Amino acid sequence: MSKMTLKTEGDTHVVVTRRFAAPPEAVYRAHTDPKLIQKWLLGPEGWTMPVCLNEARPGGKIRYEWTNGKGGGLSDR
């Protein structure tokens, strides 16, 4: 797989570029289907994502929660 590149745009944007050997629809689904997101968007080794809500539509809710199983946790919504 091609290497990931990171580029900043101004002070508040980071653009991540990475190629995947899959059709765009599949990559999009993996970014919007909570069941699939929970399989890969986990960060460092040992972390899981017990709560994942992603309603990919206008006005839809989004909520991600991670835990390391040792009391460490963070959420993003």
Partner 1 sequence: MSNLDAAFFALADPTRRAILARLAKGEATVMELAEPFEMTQPAISQHLKVLEDAGLVVRRVEGTKRPRRLAKGGIEAMDQWLRMLRKALEKNYDRLDEVLATMEKHKKGETR
Q: Which residues bind partner 1 (CB under 8 A)?
A: 1, 4, 6, 16, 18, 20-22, 26-27, 29-30, 36, 39-45
- Residue 40 or 57 with smaller CB distance to partner 1: 40
Going from the C-alpha of 66 to that of each of 2, 15, 51, 58, the distances in angstroms are: 27, 23, 7, 24
CB of 53 to partner 1, least distance (A): 18
- Residue 41 or 51 with smaller CB distance to partner 1: 41
Neighbours of 66 (CB within 10 A): 19
The alpha-carbon radius of gyration of the chain (Å, integer) is 14
